[in-house]
Amino acid sequence: MNIHKKLQKARMTLQNTALKKSGHNKFAGYQYFELGDFLPQIQAICDSLGLCGTVSFTPEMAYLTIYDTDSTESNNFVTFTSPMSSAALKGCHDVQNLGAVQTYLRRYLWVNAFEIVEHDALEPLTGKEEPAKKPEPVAKPAPVATKPVVSNTTKGAWSITMSGEEGSPGWFEALEIGVKTLLTGAQTPDDVATIFKTNRVLFDRVKELDAQVYSDLMTNFSTTKKALIKE
């Protein structure tokens, strides 16, 4: 077998070997192969096929050259290359940073040479939108006391004007006070009917918001009307 056929057989042998990823990128959330996860297996396979790989570095490039140890021909090798890089690990001096770069490049060169399927490191880091920030809570304005504006009880002026947050407990309470105030000033059953008709839109809204409150209001109207009829 020539060098290329040997290398392909070595790749297929490694492909059928169970490899376990021990590296974990916590930031992007994926597993990856560390050098120790596959290099011992590769060395054993290469030894059985008559292959030998050597890694070397220059200031600009990193090289992995795989030789056919059974051949004496001049073209008995295949070379894989990668540009050199740099590292700036916190708390490490220059030599330690250089060692980190060389370790990474060794791993990438062997992964490239043996076509080891790695996780696409770019995939989890791209194409994602930043999570939407939760809107800052808007401070609610201080509650304003709900007071009904009740017109005087002269004929034709039996209206109630409400303020405050519609449907709130204070709003209902103020409405009940307003109704009682008007009904107290009613002198005839017709006055009671006029109060209801004048504020009919308001009462219909109360019926939509709270049927029980509406029922209590209507009870007040009926009780007042009956009392005036007896008089």
**Residue spans of beta strands (DSSP E) within the chain:** 23-25, 30-32, 51-57, 61-68, 77-83, 149-150, 160-161
Q: How many CB atoms lie within 10 A of CB 7?
A: 21
Q: Tell me which residue has tokens 């770019």.
A: 122
Residues of the chain within CATH 3.30.390 domain(s) are: 3-125
CB 162 within 8 A of CB 171: yes
In this structure, what token pair is assigned to residue 167? Answer: 């449907």
Pick from 12-16, 117-121, 213-217 the range whose average pLDDT is largest: 12-16
Structure tokens at 215: 């029922």
For residue 121, pLDDT beyond 60: no
3-state DSSP call for residue 81? strand
Structure confidence at residue 130 (pLDDT) = 53
Q: How many CB atoms lie within 10 A of CB 213?
A: 18
Quick one: pLDDT at residue 142? 47
Where is pLDDT greater, at 136 or 61? 61
Q: Which residue has the higher pLDDT, 214 or 138?
A: 214
DSSP-H helix ranges across 57-135 = 94-113
Q: Which of 175, 164, 173 is nearest to 205 (CA)?
A: 175
What fold characterizes domain 3-125?
A: Enolase-like; domain 1 (3.30.390)
For the stretch 38-67, pLDDT in tens is 999 999 999 999 999 999 999 999 999 999
**In the 8-state DSSP scheme, what is residue 167?**
T
Instruction: Record the pTM.
Output: 0.50
Q: pLDDT digits over 143-196, tens only?
A: 444 555 555 545 556 788 877 778 787 777 888 888 888 888 888 888 888 888
Closest of 48, 49, 41 to residue 3, by C-alpha: 49
Q: Which two tokens stand for residue 59?
A: 């200031």
Name the more confident of 110 and 152.
110
Q: Average pLDDT in the 12-24 region?
A: 88
- What's the pLDDT at 143? 47
Beta bridge partners, 52, equal 67
Q: Phi/psi zone of residue 59: left (φ > 0), alpha (ψ -120 to 50 degrees), beta?
A: alpha
